[in-house]
């Protein structure tokens, strides 16, 4: 069974992420141990809350360099919600530097008539990388569940794998490049579509592990 390490850094509901991965056919392992992360088939970084506390918790656990090294090694990595945002260099939400994996910044939604902030609830994906492994069986227009007041703005738009529109603002909803994948929404709360996305990630991990075994 595919062993996926879920990073425990006191920033989110790990239970729901683990249940989603279990339903997708993986064996989730909750850990803050860098050696366990390195030994797993893949790593998931979930998160709910604010940017600065998240980075502080990762630094307090000496996890910043291990995460950077794991991503650099080519191991499949999935960020969820705040776990996407901390992959960037910085955020308008705080002062702490991010992990710096993705060049760019986390921006705050700007108020406008008729929209709510935080952006909370269901919204429709528009796929900009339709051939990404994340989107097998997923199409533009599918609904997923969001809770966020800030959004990712990669310096290189080719990182963006999907967008959503909130009011007049069209923003990044997912990123993907090589082994790095991340979603701003909560796949574990996004019903059938969310489970499909998690299953796609687990399948991609299993296929990579099989290829390495050969």
Total number of domains in the chain: 1
Residue 32 is a catalytic residue:
no
* pLDDT for res 213: 40
Question: 119, 148, 166, 186: which one is catalytic?
Answer: 186
DSSP-based three-state secondary structure for 207: helix
Evaluate whether 87 touches 54 at the Cβ level (below 8 Å). no
178: CATH: 3.40.50.880
Contacts of 149 by beta carbon, 8 Å cutoff, 6+ apart: 93, 108, 109, 117, 118, 119
Specify the pTM: 0.96
pLDDT in tens, 111-141: 999 889 999 999 999 999 999 999 999 999 9
CA distances for 25 relative to 7, 20, 41, 131, 161, angstroms: 18, 9, 13, 22, 24
Q: Phi/psi of residue 20, each to 5°?
A: -65, -45
Residue that the structure tokens 């990712």 belong to: 152
pLDDT in tens, 59-97: 999 999 999 999 999 999 999 999 999 999 999 999 999
Q: Which tokens sit at 80?
A: 């969820």
* pLDDT for res 1: 86
* pLDDT for res 141: 98
Question: 18, 93, 166, 188: which one is catalytic?
Answer: 188
Residue 81 is a catalytic residue:
yes
Evaluate whether 78 touches 45 at the Cβ level (below 8 Å). yes
- The number of beta carbons lying within 10 Å of the beta carbon of residue 3 is 15
- Domain limits at 157? 3-213
Rounded to whole angstroms, the Cα distance separating 170 from 176 reads 18
Residue 186 is a catalytic residue:
yes
Rounded to whole angstroms, the Cα distance separating 119 from 109 reads 8
- The number of beta carbons lying within 10 Å of the beta carbon of residue 123 is 18
Q: What is the mean pLDDT of the chain?
A: 95
Question: 18, 81, 119, 148: which one is catalytic?
Answer: 81
Confidence of residue 212 (pLDDT cuts 50, 70, 90): very low
- What are the helix (H) ranges across 74-190? 82-85
């Amino acid at each position: 069974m595919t062993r996926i390490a879920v990073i425990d850094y006191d920033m989110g509901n790990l239970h729901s992420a683990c249940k989603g991965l279990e339903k997708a056919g993986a064996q989730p392992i909750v850990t803050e141990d860098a050696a366990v992360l390195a030994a797993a088939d893949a790593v998931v970084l979930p998160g709910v809350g604010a940017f600065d506390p998240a980075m502080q918790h990762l630094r307090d656990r000496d996890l910043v360099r291990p995460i950077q090294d794991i991503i650099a090694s080519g191991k499949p990595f999935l960020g969820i919600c705040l776990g996407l945002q901390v992959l960037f260099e910085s955020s308008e939400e705080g002062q702490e530097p991010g992990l710096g994996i993705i060049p760019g910044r986390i921006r705050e939604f700007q108020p406008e008539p008729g929209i709510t902030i935080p952006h909370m609830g269901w919204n429709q994906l528009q796929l900009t990388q339709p051939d990404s492994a994340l989107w097998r069986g997923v199409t533009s227009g599918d609904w997923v569940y969001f809770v966020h007041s800030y959004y990712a703005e990669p310096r290189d738009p080719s990182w963006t794998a999907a967008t959503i529109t909130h009011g007049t603002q069209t923003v990044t909803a997912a990123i993907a490049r090589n082994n790095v994948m991340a979603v701003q929404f909560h796949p574990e709360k996004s019903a059938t579509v969310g489970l499909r996305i998690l299953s796609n990630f687990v399948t991609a991990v299993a296929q990579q592990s099989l290829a390495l075994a050969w």
